[in-house]
Amino acid sequence: MSKVAAHVEEIIQPILETLNYELVDVEYVKEGSDYYLRIAIDKDGGVDLNDCAIASEKISEVMDKEDPIKEPYFMDVSSPGAERPLKKEKDYLNAIDQPVFISLYEPVEGDKEWLGTLKEVTEESITLEVKIKTRTKNVTLPREKIAKARRSVML
């Protein structure tokens, strides 16, 4: 996570907690000549457009006051969607027995991308049950090799 994203997360976490929203992800990126601050929120039962608007208004107030980002940027507050990123330990634990997509920094067993059912989570690794043609096998992926992880809508 970038320093800016980490700082923004620190600033907005208390606001979202008072609104009973969970902060899923903060991303600060440059695309072309524009900067984007993307914030994903959730709550039990999911968030709707009204929830995003309320959170956006409250976040904007504190961002204007704290001013942690010097360059102009676009802010987007949204739901994490069906393919929610797995960032925190509880995200992984909540995804056990669910389909997930994992992208790695370097290959494991010759592949950098894995799609399977999350079976086990430890501090050092995660284990996926994957289908290869007609058979099923377990693959253990070291946590330090995980570049991105998210839930998947299909297996």
Task: Report pLDDT digits (tens) over 106-140.
Answer: 999 999 999 999 999 999 999 999 998 889 999 99
Could you tell me if 145 and 134 are in contact, meaning their C-beta atoms sit under 8 angstroms apart?
no
Topology of domain 89-151, CATH: SH3 type barrels. (2.30.30)
| Residue range(s) occupied by CATH 2.30.30.180 in the chain | 89-151
Q: Residue 37 and residue 45: Cα distance in Å, rounded?
A: 25
Q: Which CATH architecture has domain 3-78?
A: 2-Layer Sandwich (3.30)
Every domain range in the chain assigned CATH 3.30.300.70: 3-78
Closest CA to 151 of 89, 84, 92, 102: 84
Distance (Å, whole) CA 63 – CA 143: 33
Cβ contact 43:22 at 8 Å: yes
Q: What is the pLDDT of residues 51-70, one digit of tens each?
A: 999 999 999 999 999 888 98
Amino acid at 33: S
pTM above 0.95, yes or no: no
**Rg of the chain on CA atoms, in Å:** 18
